Amino acid sequence: MILYKSEEEVACMRQSALLVSQTLTEVAKILQPGKTTLEIDELIGTYIKDHKAIPSFLNYNGYPFNACISVNDVVVHGFPGKTPLREGDIISVDVGVILNGWHGDHAYTFAIGNPGEDVMQLIRVTKESLYLGIEKAIAGNRIGDIAYAIQEHTEKKYGYGVVRELVGHGLGKDLHEDPQVPNYGKRGTGTKLKKGLVLAIEPMINLGKRDIYTEEDGWTVRTKDGKPSAHFEHDVCVGKGKATILSDYSIIEEAEAANPYLFTQEKIPVKN
């Protein structure tokens, strides 16, 4: 069943989404070689609790950590651990919070040092595809329009692998609500979008092939070919003529740009 939100409820969800953005901003400030993903997870848990919220992921279906932290070929649901991060790693940090009963849930992929031009392009294109999908999240369109926009940009244009088994979703009082939002599909198909529908749109795009597998822990999802994967996610409310993005990447990007250990598109050397 699809649940539509009132303007008042969307305003509450914006607060949840912004707390996730603020949490990811704190992560962006401290990422560097030598940090462990377990240290990052502990920071995330403390920050969320200090802001009178609950980590959505902790104990969700038995998940034992505050956040999903996925390094290099881990697509999603990476377990935080004690292995230090290294120069050239890319790291997707996916955070959820419950604030005043409403969930916020989004993700951002960082590069620690320069992972190489091909991986930086993957990060850029995945992020671009998220915004192309959001452009289609307007009343009267269908889920397939979002999915097609993401697939067209990443798979058709760049030849990347679009993960099929993992999808975006509705968001609200529950972490995962209807409808599902795939990152591949046909225009004009799927659920019709109406004002007040809040979605977590999240392209998960592989540098190589789309094939994945789940490790024995039952959670960690990796690319079968061992190539890196990027993941970006925004919380979005469907509107008439334009979607409203409830989360805020600008504060994350500001912290990312200020951190000398993080590599961004702007830091790529210009070729003569």
Reduced to 3 states, what is the DSSP secondary structure of residue 201?
strand
The two three-digit tokens of residue 83, written as one number:
């292995």
Query: What is the rounded distance in angstroms from the CA atom of residue 51 to the CA atom of residue 227?
Result: 37
Q: Which residues of 145-178 are buried (b: 16+ CB within 10 A; e: fewer)?
A: bbbbbbbbbbbeebebbbbeebbbbbbbeebbbe
Residues paired with 192 in a beta bridge: 142
Amino acid in position 1: M
- Rg of the chain in Å (alpha carbons): 17
**DSSP readout, 61-104?**
GG--SSEEEEETTEEE-PPP-SPBP-TT-EEEEEEEEEETTEEE
Collapse the DSSP code of 6 into the 3-class scheme (helix H, G, I; strand E, B; otherwise coil) and give the result: coil
Give SS3 for 135.
helix
Over the stretch 5-51, which tens digit does the pLDDT of each residue have?
A: 999 999 999 999 999 999 999 999 999 999 999 999 999 999 999 99
* Residues of the chain above pLDDT 90, percent: 97
Average pLDDT, integer, range 149-153: 98
Q: How confident is the model at residue 271 (pLDDT cuts 50, 70, 90)?
A: low
Q: Please report the pLDDT score of residue 266 as a whole number.
A: 78
How high is the pLDDT of residue 267?
Answer: 73
- Count the neighbouring beta carbons within 10 Å of the beta carbon of residue 33: 13
- How distant, in Å, are the alpha carbons of 31, 33, 41, 78, 153 from that of 37? 9, 11, 6, 9, 31
Return mean pLDDT, the chain: 97
State pTM to two decimals. 0.97
Count CB neighbours of 192 within 10 A. Answer: 13
Nearest-CA neighbor of 15 among 89, 101, 83, 74?
101
Domain extent listing, the chain: 7-267
Tell whether the model's pLDDT for residue 272 goes beyond 70: no
The vertex-123 CA angle with 40 and 13, nearest 5°, equals: 60
Q: Is 70 exceeded by the pLDDT of residue 270? A: no
Q: Which of 110-114, 137-141, 218-222, 264-268 has the lowest mean pLDDT?
A: 264-268
Question: 55 exposed, middle or buried (CB, 10 Å; 0-12, 13-18, 19+)?
Answer: buried
CA 45, 51, 52, 54 torsion: positive or negative? negative
> What is the CATH class of 7-267?
alpha beta
107 vs 266, higher pLDDT: 107
